């Protein structure tokens, strides 16, 4: 129904953003954690590609920084037993190409590291979605993951150099890591 929301960022948290559009309406848009970690500044222009979900008791707008992320979110919703919260958690805790790789290679173990995803859910997702996925772009994952983690640390008030050093240190010691874990370990390096 709504393709995107473009306006000024008024408020942002790990779970949602409020965007004021030119007509003075403030839209509450639920976002994946990875979008929060991009470090978007309050008062800056923002555009989120949206998915409007209508349930019996609610109407919610979910927003993503790219169309492919939004499309993958909607594909995940088509899996039986996967609701918006689970799909948002997957898209928010694994970088886009990393998630595609996990799904395509049937990496159940990596999917189970995402909060709220158990083994049975991961297996069902892989089984139902593996043939419907767009191709991933190998090699991009770590670069995007590193960038997103640095942006998150800078947004939390750490200097750019300290954030880069902390993220680089963590990535040298941990190969298979998702964004939220990378940020957590990098925060420990900053202290």
CATH number of the domain to which 149 belongs: 1.10.8.10
49 lies in the same domain as 16: yes
Boundary-marking domain end, from 64, 88, 103:
64
Query: 93 near 114, Cβ under 8 Å?
Result: yes
120 lies in the same domain as 101: yes
126 lies in the same domain as 153: no
pTM: 0.68
12 lies in the same domain as 50: yes
Domain count, the chain: 3
Angle of helix 96-104 relative to helix 67-77, nearest 10 degrees, comes to 40
Exposed/middle/buried for residue 131 (C-beta within 10 Å: 0-12, 13-18, 19+): exposed
56 lies in the same domain as 14: yes
Query: 15 near 157, Cβ under 8 Å?
Result: no
Boundary-marking domain end, from 106, 132, 158:
132
| CATH label of the domain that carries residue 50 | 2.40.50.140
pLDDT digits 0-9 by tens, 75-127: 999 998 899 999 999 998 887 877 887 887 788 888 888 888 999 999 999 88
User: What is the residue range of 40's domain?
Assistant: 4-64
Q: What residue spans of 13-118 are helical by DSSP H?
A: 33-36, 67-77, 84-93, 96-104, 108-112
pLDDT digits 0-9 by tens, 9-34: 999 998 999 999 988 899 999 999 88
127 lies in the same domain as 157: no
């Amino acid at each position: 129904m709504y393709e995107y929301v473009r306006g000024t960022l008024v408020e942002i948290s790990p779970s949602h953003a409020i965007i004021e559009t030119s007509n003075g309406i403030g839209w509450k848009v639920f976002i994946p954690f990875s979008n929060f970690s991009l470090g978007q500044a309050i008062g800056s222009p923002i555009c989120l590609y949206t998915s409007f979900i209508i349930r019996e008791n609610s109407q919610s707008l979910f927003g993503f920084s790219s169309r492919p992320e939004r499309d993958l979110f909607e594909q995940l919703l088509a899996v039986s037993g996967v609701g918006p919260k689970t799909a948002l958690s997957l898209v928010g805790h694994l970088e886009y190409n990393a998630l595609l790789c996990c799904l395509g290679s049937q990496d159940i173990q990596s999917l189970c590291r995402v909060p709220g995803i158990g083994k049975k859910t991961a297996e069902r997702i892989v089984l139902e979605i593996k043939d419907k996925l767009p191709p991933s772009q190998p090699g991009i994952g770590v670069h995007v993951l590193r960038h997103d983690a640095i942006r998150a640390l800078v947004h939390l008030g750490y200097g750019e150099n300290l954030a880069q050093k902390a993220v680089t240190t963590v990535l040298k010691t941990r190969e298979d890591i998702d964004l939220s874990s990378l940020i957590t370990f990098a925060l420990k390096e900053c202290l």
